[in-house]
Amino acid sequence: MSAANVNPEIDFQLTRIFDAPRELVYQAWTETPHLEQWWGPPGLSARVVKLDLQPGGVFHYAMKMPDRPEMFGKFVYREIEPNRMLTYVVSFSDAEEGITTHPFSPTWPQEMLSAVELFDEDGQTRVELWITPINASREQEQTFREGHQSMQQGYGGTLDQLEAYLAAL
């Protein structure tokens, strides 16, 4: 995503440097055995239900907290540039891939456009994550803006898990 497209009033952004080659970081974002080891907020286990890595394809996953039913989410891929970028629409979903509301926030946007870009940086990989609501009401956009701190914690924890996973490979 180009910086010219970013709306700081609404968009969520996060940048992280990983001590791993870009190709390995890309594999961690795009291959089932890797994703099941790190994807999702801390405290939740992840299970890949389906992974079809192509434009229009779906990454459908389940997350589970102890003593709670599974929650589902999905990406619908828009653009894929191997080892460089993924663009996709993120949604909470049901077990059949239907779009659902956030399980804890009914006014959360149902669809969010997201991009993950990977850059070589002095032998490491810089990951830039960008997310913005799409097809959202003003109330949903407001909820998204107000949720940036929570997203910082959730995605920050997820990327902490990715960092630990990459270090163990």
Single out the residue of 32, 109, 116 nearest to residue 101, CA to CA.
109
Single out the residue of 84, 167, 89 nearest to residue 127, CA to CA.
84
Q: Which structural domain range is residue 40 located in?
A: 11-168
**Residue 6 belongs to a domain:** no
pLDDT-above-90 percentage for the chain:
88
Contact 144, 119 (CB under 8 A): no
State how far the Cα of 101 lies from the Cα of 86, in Å rounded to an integer: 24
Q: What is the mean pLDDT of residues 25-51?
A: 96
CATH of the domain at 48: 3.30.530.20
**Residue 138 belongs to a domain:** yes
Which pLDDT band, with edges at 50, 70 and 90, does 3 fall under? very low
* Span 58-103, pLDDT tens digits: 999 999 988 888 999 999 999 999 999 999 999 999 999 999 999 8
**Residue 4 belongs to a domain:** no
